Amino acid sequence: MSTIVTAGQRFRQALAEEQPLQIIGTLNAHHALLAKRAGFKAIYLSGGGVAAGSLGLPDLGINTLDDVLTDVRRITDVCEVPLIVDVDTGFGPSAFNIARTTKSLIKFGAAGFHIEDQVGAKRCGHRPGKEVVSLEEMADRVKAAADARTDDSFYIIARTDSIASHGVDHAIDVAIACVAAGADAIFPEAAYDLATFEKFRKAVNAPILANITEFGKTPLFSVADLKPTGVEMLLNPLSAFRACNKAAETVYEAVRRDGHQRNVIDLMQTRDELYDRIGYHEFESKIDKLFAAGKTK
């Protein structure tokens, strides 16, 4: 009898094999397949990406759990690379909401999530004006998630946005409380230098995730930059999303301006490349076999 390996177990294995583990943001199922092809051992679904990419809305806590679950299911249906999901503040004010979020993500095949300490009316982590809940309330959020796990390997990352409003030392206190409440790892959002990451790693008895997002408060540190600090995970949440948005805008403007797409063909994935990346021919061959079997009857 074969043993089922869960998504959380696959993520933990990836973390054991590669440090810092590169976690790359995937906008949709097709991008998840592209990330797998590129060799990534872990992928990510951004809450801001769901809001902007799937809904055309800003990252202000507007999207719902069901919005996120739709994109999670589409990714996990076709790609077994372990997926970490951004669940903002947990999609609800109470422990019951957070428990539902945790159980739903496990059911939909996610490997883990990160939950943050911002208030319900949250903002992008690299914007001014963020407000956070108390240390005790954030620890309660983490405990609610940890207690609700139906799979012990499901990976819970506690994100603290407290650096901007309360300073690094307070954020470390939050991180320590979250680990005590059951968090597997800590995500210090908008850390501004390598020394800050190193300080977290030395103070907190848990792996640290560095969010290396473009055009934000954190410099674009590389794997080589972060490795000496002891950081275990490097997240690039929206790099491909930003690139494809810029490419799409360029194509739309060119086609409208020129009346044709000939000047932007070089920006496009070819038909053959698309078919290869999504396994089109394998699907088509199954149809051919079905038709052939039908003709012999």
> Which residues are part of a known binding site?
46-48, 86, 88, 124-125, 159, 189, 211-213, 242, 271
Q: Which of 12, 28, 59, 141 is catalytic?
A: 59
Active-site annotation holds for 124 = yes
Which is nearest to 233 in space by CA: 251, 212, 254?
212
- Quick one: tokens of 226? 């972060």
- State the number of CA atoms in the 13 A half-sphere of 180 facing the CB: 11
Closest of 217, 204, 111 to residue 161, by C-alpha: 217
Half-sphere exposure of residue 245: CA atoms within 13 angstroms, side-chain side: 11
Q: At which residue do the structure tokens 């949250």 appear? A: 122
59 catalytically annotated: yes
Q: What is residue 41's three-state secondary structure?
A: coil
Catalytic residue flag (residue 159): yes
DSSP 296: T
Q: Residues 31, 114, 141, 201: which is the catalytic one? A: 114
Q: Has 114 been annotated as catalytic?
A: yes
* 79 classed as catalytic: no
CA nearest neighbour of 216 among 135, 124, 114? 124
**Among the options 126, 141, 149, 159, which is catalytic?**
159
Binding residues for substrate: 46-48, 124-125, 159, 189, 211-213, 242, 271
Active-site residue identified among 12, 44, 161, 232: 44
Cβ-defined contacts of 91-97 (< 8 Å, 24+): 91/64, 91/65, 92/65, 93/120, 95/140, 95/141, 95/143, 95/144, 96/144
Q: Single out the residue of 155, 145, 158 nearest to residue 94, CA to CA.
A: 145
Catalytic-labelled residue, pool 71, 116, 117, 232 = 116
- The catalytic position among 86, 161, 184, 232 is 86
Distance CA 239, CA 82 (A): 18
Residues annotated within a binding site for Mg(2+): 86, 88
Estimate the share of the chain in helix, then strand, then coil, as percent rounded to the nearest 5.
55, 15, 35
| Catalytic residue (one of 88, 161, 184, 232) | 88
Cis peptide before 20 (omega within 30 of 0): yes
Supply the residues annotated as catalytic. 44, 59, 86, 88, 114, 116, 124, 159, 189, 211
